[in-house]
Amino acid sequence: MKKNLLLKSVFIGALGLAMISPTASAHDVLDDVSIEKGAEAGSLAVIPQLEGSKNVSGWNEVAAVQLKEKDGVQNNTADVYAHKNFAYVGTHTSNGGNGGVRVFDLKDPSNPIEVSSFADEIPGTWQEKVVVKQVNTKDFNGDLAAVSVQRLDRSNPDSVGGVLLYDVTDPYHPEKLGFWAVDQRASGTHELYLAKQGDRAFVLAASNYADYYTHGEKKDFSLVEVTDPANPKTIYEFDPRQLDEVPDDFNGYHWNAPDGKVRPVFNHSVMTDENAQTAFLSFWDLGTIMLDISDPDNPEYLGRTEFASLQQGSSHSAQVAKGGTVLIETREVYAPKREGYEESYGYTRIFDIKDRSNPKLLSNFKTDLVDNVEDGVTFANTVHDPKVVGNTLYLSHYAGGVRAVDISDPSTPEEIGRYVPENSFIWGVFANRNYILASDMGTGLKVIQKNNKSE
C-alpha cells in the first residue's frame, strides 16, 4: 500500500491482503497460554470490503513508516501511544528485543519522523507498553513516560523486569528518572497504566505470573506510587485469594473454578477511568476486576465480570465509555477449538457498570473473523486492544486490521468501518480527535487522519 494512497474512507479494507500468521514465541508460556506473539509470513487472505460510514467517513491513511534499525537490528512494534503530537511506539521480542520505545514527531502527520529512543538499557528485555502523561507533583513537573519492561529469559541473571520511568518533556532527549523492579524470579511487567489523582501519580502494573513464579510472595497487580518518579514505591497488591470463589490453595495461575473447570488466571492488563477512581484489572478467566482506588492507600474490591461455562475467559484489555458507565472488555482467544468450550476466536463484550458490584452484560460484539475457526490461523482472527473516542470504539484485530464500531447504543454495537493495510498485523491502536495511530508488528507505524477537503 503506497504511503499517500487516499482511501474513500480510512476504513476501506483492501481486497487482496497477505495475512500474517503469528506463532507463539516460547519466552513465557504456562500450559497453553502465551502472552508472547511473534509473526511470520502466512497465507493469502481476502478481507470482505466494508466502506466507512458515520463519523469515520473522510478519514485516510496519510503515512506508513517502519522503525529505524537499531545497532543493525530491525525490531518489530508493540503498542502505541500519543501525547502532544508525538507518538510513542513500544517494541516486541523479534531479533532479540531491547528495541526500546521509539518517539515519532507527528507535527506533520503525513511525515512522522523518528527522533529518539529510550528505555532499552536493561539487557534481555522488551518494552511492550508505554503511557505518557503530563504530571505535576511536588517532586516532578513535566511529561512522564511509564514503560513496561519484560524479560526474554527468566534464567538470565543480568536481566530484570518492571517499569522504567522517563522524563519526556523534551521528547528529543528523554531522561531516565527511576525504575520499579519486579521480583527477579518473575518475568517483569507486561502492561501498565499511568494515572494522576490530585497531586499524586501512580503506575498500575500488570506483572503477569508474578504470583505463580514467586509462590504467592508477590502479586500480579501492583499499585505503585510515582509521585516522585525517581523513587517509585509499591503501596498495594491485589490477591485473587481475597475473592470468595478463589480458594486459599490457589497456586497463582490454575484456578479450580466453580464451573468445574481448571481455568488460567493472571493479570494481563490494567487501566483506570478518567479520574482514576476505579481500576480495571484484566484478569484472564477471572474477568475484568474492578477496584475502588479513590483512596489509593486503601483500595477496595468492587466486583468483576463473569463468563458462561462454555466461554473461554481470556479477559485481555479494557476501556470505559459513556463517562465510565460502560465497560468494553476484549478477550484474546486464539485457540478456538477447545473441548468443553464454544468454537470461537476472541470477541468483545460490553457491560453496563453503573453499579460496579453488579456489571450487566449489554452485548457481545463479533467481527466477521471470530467464527472462522477452520483456517487454523492462530491469533490472526481474535480481537486484541480497544480504544474509545466519543461513541466510536476502535479495535485492533491483528490480521483484521483496525475495526471501528458505533457504540451510541452499547446494547446494539455496529461495525461502521475497517482499516486493513497490506500485510496487516495490527497490535495496538490509539485514537483521539485528530488522528488514529496503528502499530503494525511487521511494518511499523500507520497514521490515519481526517481529510477536511471535499471529495
What value does the mean pLDDT take over residues 261-289?
97
What value does the mean pLDDT take over residues 261-285?
97
Instruction: Tell me how far apart the alpha carbons of residues 129 and 127 are, in angstroms, rounded to a whole number.
Output: 6
Question: pLDDT tier at 453 (50, 70, 90 boundaries)?
Answer: very low
The DSSP 8-state label assigned to residue 163 in this structure reads: E
pLDDT of residue 408 exceeding 50: yes
pLDDT of residue 150 exceeding 60: yes
pLDDT at 24: 33
pLDDT of residue 35 exceeding 70: no
Q: Exposed (0-12), middle (13-18) or buried (19+): which is 342, by Cβ within 10 Å?
A: middle
pLDDT at 31: 63
Question: pLDDT tier at 422 (50, 70, 90 boundaries)?
Answer: confident
pLDDT tens digits, 295-349: 999 999 999 999 999 999 999 999 999 999 999 999 999 899 999 999 999 999 9
Q: Exposed (0-12), middle (13-18) or buried (19+): which is 16, by Cβ within 10 Å?
A: exposed
Taking the CB of residue 440, how many other CB atoms lie within 10 A of it? 27
Residue 230, C-alpha cell as written in the block: 525517581
What value does the mean pLDDT take over residues 259-280?
97
Closest-CA residue to 103 (of 168, 147, 164): 168
For the chain, the residue count is 455
Taking the CB of residue 48, how many other CB atoms lie within 10 A of it? 9
Tell me the Ramachandran region of residue 214: left when phi exceeds 0, alpha when psi lies from -120 to 50, beta otherwise. alpha
What's the whole-number average pLDDT of the chain? Answer: 88
Q: Exposed (0-12), middle (13-18) or buried (19+): which is 360, by Cβ within 10 Å?
A: exposed
pLDDT at 374: 82
pLDDT at 176: 98
Residue 246, C-alpha cell as written in the block: 478463589
pLDDT tens digits, 344-393: 999 999 999 999 999 999 999 999 999 988 866 667 899 999 999 999 99
Contact 126, 99 (CB under 8 A): yes
Question: pLDDT tier at 125 (50, 70, 90 boundaries)?
Answer: very high
pLDDT tens digits, 204-244: 999 999 999 999 999 999 999 999 999 999 999 999 999 99
Q: Which residues pair with 86 in a beta bridge?
A: 83, 105
Contact 81, 147 (CB under 8 A): no
pLDDT at 132: 98
pLDDT tens digits, 38-88: 443 332 233 333 345 666 667 788 999 999 999 999 999 999 999 999 999
Cα 353 to Cα 27, 122, 323, 414, distances in angstroms: 36, 40, 11, 20
Domains of the chain: 17-450 (2.130.10.10)
Contact 52, 11 (CB under 8 A): yes
